[in-house]
Amino acid sequence: MVRTPCCKEEGIKKGAWTPEEDQKLIAYLQLHGEGGWRTLPEKAGLKRCGKSCRLRWANYLRPDIKRGEFSPEEDDTIIKLHALKGNKWAAIATSLAGRTDNEIKNYWNTNLKKRLKQKGLDPITHKPINSTGKTGLVPKTNKPVYSSGSARLLNRVASKYAVELNRDLLTGIISGNSTVAEDSQNSGDVDSPTSTLLNKMAATSVLINTTSPFSGFSDNCSFTDGFNEFFSNEEISDMYTTVDNFGIMEELKGILSYGGAGAGGIEDSPEVNVADAMEFIDSWNEDDKMVGVFV
């Protein structure tokens, strides 16, 4: 396929934008809205290529862009999401309102990467640079410590819905579309696939909890809102205080959408990480090294 040159036309201006150019672009977009970037420059009276206009708008001029320093909470979120997603700046940006992928990428490269290095952590793997080989998913000879908080949460879910609880139902619970709860409540079987699943979830949480070098991340996980139908405010509050690690939330979301169950409103789950986690947990379970039985 022959690609159309984007910015190689004669007379196309490059480099820093002037305030006058910004004004022209803003005025045009306020009048006509976004889109039609290829023809926009000519219509707006700009000697720029459409791509340049789109980037200028997306990364700088958009009214909902939050400028200024990153907060400690934003720092934590970026670091944690980077550990989960890698250099997926656009995906990370969706969790930080008002921040662009470009801004986050720059901030990572100029600040957070260095900060991790100063802490002796590899900014790519987020593990200690002089690690003895321990990684997040290979603790077979390094049994994790029991995490009572996340396990307790999962145990509550397990005991509440028992045998019928599966990924689809969990997805339903979280997205608020579940209709299976009453069936589940009739079951007293504790040695069930549900228990196994929840043990896996808990074990995954424990792994993250015990291998993450960070702590105290914000719990801005909207998916817990879906629990309102099934748990009291007090119980949900308890989830927030016991499941106090953003990574756990992310991983749980991932597990719930793993295997094509469909995650409803849950977005952008870390499929690869979760697949790896599940594979590991499965093998771990086979080896009878599960951290606990939460039934």
Partner DNA sequence: AAGGGCCTCAACCGCTATAGA
Partner DNA sequence: CTCTATAGCGGTTGAGGCCCT
Taking CB under 7 A as the criterion, the residue among 30, 31, 110, 130 binding DNA is 110
Near DNA by CB under 7 A: residue from 26, 55, 236, 275: 55
Gap between the Cα atoms of 284 and 207, Å rounded: 12
Please give the residues from 244 up to 263 whose contact with DNA meets the rule CB under 7 A.
none
51 binds DNA (CB under 7 A): yes
How many other β-carbons are positioned within 10 Å of the β-carbon of residue 84?
23
* 6 part of the interface to DNA, by CB under 7 A: yes
Of 89, 87, 92, 81, nearest to 251 by C-alpha is 81
Contacts of 198 (CB under 8 A, 6+ apart): 154, 155, 157, 158, 165, 294, 295
Smallest gap, in angstroms, from Cβ of residue 266 to DNA?
Answer: 17
Q: Is 62 an interacting residue with respect to DNA (CB under 7 A)?
A: no
Q: Is residue 35 within the footprint of DNA (CB under 7 A)?
A: yes
Q: Nearest approach, Cβ of 65 to DNA (angstroms)?
A: 9
Segment interacting with DNA (CB under 7 A) among 45-53, 193-201, 240-248, 276-284: 45-53
Decide if residue 129 touches DNA (CB under 7 A): no
Q: Which two tokens stand for residue 163?
A: 């045998």
**Smallest gap from residue 103 Cβ to DNA (A):** 5
- Which residues have a Cβ under 8 Å from the Cβ of 137 and sit 6 or more positions away? 207, 276, 277, 280
User: Under 8 Å CB-to-CB from 106, ≥6 apart: which residues?
Assistant: none
In our burial notation (b when 16+ CB lie closer than 10 A, e otherwise), range 248-261 reads bbbbbbbbbbbeeb
Q: What are 128's strand-pairing partners? A: 121
Shortest distance, CB of residue 220 to DNA, whole angstroms?
A: 20
> Which residues inside 66-105 make contact with DNA, applying CB under 7 A?
87-91, 101-103, 105
State the CB neighbour count (10 A cutoff) for residue 271: 13
In this chain, which of 29, 44, 52, 83 binds DNA, going by CB under 7 A? 52
- Cα→Cα distances 124→152, 197, 287, Å: 32, 30, 30
In the complex, least distance from residue 130 CB atom to DNA, rounded to whole angstroms = 23
54 binds DNA (CB under 7 A): yes
Least distance to DNA, CB of residue 15, Å: 5
Residues in contact with DNA by CB under 7 A are 1-4, 6-7, 13-17, 35-39, 48, 50-52, 54-56, 58-60, 87-91, 101-103, 105-107, 109-111
